[in-house]
Amino acid sequence: MTTQLQLTQTGQTHSRQLGAAQAAWLVAEREITTKLRSKAFLISTGVLLLLVLGTVLFGGISSKMGGFGGETKVAVVAETADHVNSEAFEVVKVADRAAAEQAVLSEQVDAAVVPGGDTPVGLTVLAADSPPMGLVQALSASPQVELLKPTTENPMLAYFIAIAFGIVFMMSAITFGTTIAQSVVEEKQTRIVEILLATVSARTILAGKILGNSILALGQVIAIAALTSVGMLATGQDLLLGELGTALIWFAVLFAFGFVLLASLYAALASLVSRQEDVASAVSPVMWLVMIPYIAIIMFNTNVKVLAIMSYVPFSAPVGMPMRLYLGTAEWWEPVVSLGILVVAIAIVWWLGARIYERSILRTGAKVKLKDALAAKE
């Protein structure tokens, strides 16, 4: 079945037959073009990408300089070399105590360990103004420790990675979801949607809007992932990048499908109102669906049971499953199952969203109640 579209350009009217898919793509192109012509969108996206790159570069450089868990430089002499763990500290060998003192005073090292001192360990730590507590604790006598549930991941690093997944998901979903909602209400206010409905179906318009904004949202996520990878490679964090690789890929895949789910709800709920002032209250339930995964991933970033549940719930799978993949607590087949559940959820939500949209988009004035939109006749 084809649709007759009347396109007026430079005073001439062109008529062509388009299928539903082609018509949806035209709507998507309009959404993409409108957004890319917006200076506010381009500037905000550029600032966001620069912040992402700057944060990655700063973190990598700080780590190399000793910040955020970076190695402490320690000078040792022959007698003390065996007492300092070369895996925990950057060891610099010097000839004697005098050379060790000179290395500390010239700030070539953070501290030095030399023999002597009235202590059971028979060692002295030399420092300029304050000793590195990590070094002091490492040299102190302590009982043997056995970890019954050992982990290879740095808890602080896992926390920051959880925040990163959560922020990117929340910001992209809210930014482009709000764009869809505002676009729906604007077309409803200006009655442009009535002109569009004369040539294409409501479901085609809705599909085009979701497709266009999904492409923009996914493009932004891919750009963030690419800049993050470049920044990590530039600062020598290729090992961490290797650990994050699979998680980043699945984050992009699950986000692409998850955003379609959220976009359907944004558009459907926005069609219930006729004023821009009412958009925020109309889409607030979806906002909570976006914010809850962000809050949960921060609070429970190392909780295996909570993350397992999050990785299968459609609204939180885009952050829960990548986090599990990074931590190594997910089997290879679990992301596939999570994606399958997400696709089923999309089909259900799309059907409900399209039903609400096509039955509310032409109803102006007071806000349409959700039950009325669902109960309305075709």
pLDDT at 15 over 70: no
User: In terms of C-beta density within 10 A (0-12 exposed, 13-18 middle, 19 or more buried), how is residue 190 classed?
Assistant: exposed
CA–CA dist 12, 7 (Å, integer): 8
226-271 residue pLDDT tens: 998 888 888 777 777 888 889 999 999 999 999 999 999 999 999 9
Structure-block tokens of residue 81? 């070399």
Given a cut of 70, is residue 87 above it in pLDDT?
no
pLDDT number for residue 90: 82
Residue 357 clears pLDDT 50, i.e. is over it = yes
Look at residue 12 in the predicted model and tell me its pLDDT: 36
- Rounded to two decimals, the pTM is 0.74
**Would you state the structure tokens that stand for residue 186, as one six-digit string?**
């604007």
Taking Cα atoms as reference points, which of 97, 276, 281 lies closest to residue 184?
Answer: 276
Model pLDDT for residues 35-69, shown as the tens digit of each residue: 999 998 999 899 989 988 888 888 777 655 544 44
What confidence tens digit (pLDDT) does each residue in 194-228 have? 988 888 899 999 999 999 999 999 999 999 999 98
Of 359, 145, 153, 185, which is closest to residue 266 (Cα–Cα)? 185
Closest CA to 89 of 112, 115, 119: 112
Confidence check: pLDDT of 131 > 60: yes
Average pLDDT, the chain: 84
Predicted local confidence at residue 142, as pLDDT: 52
pLDDT at residue number 143? 53
pLDDT of 14 = 39
Confidence of residue 141 (pLDDT cuts 50, 70, 90): low
pLDDT at 370 (0 to 100): 85
Percent of the chain with pLDDT over 90: 47
Domain boundaries, the chain: 19-62+153-375, 72-139
pLDDT of residue 281: 93
Provide the pLDDT confidence category of residue 7 given band limits of 50, 70 and 90. Answer: very low
- Pairing of the two strands 72-76 and 12-19: unpaired
Query: What's the token pair of residue 295?
Result: 């809050």
Helix (H) or strand (E) holding 1: none
- In the CATH scheme, what is the homologous superfamily, with its name and number, of domain 72-139? Periplasmic binding protein-like II (3.40.190.10)
Average pLDDT over residues 296-320: 92
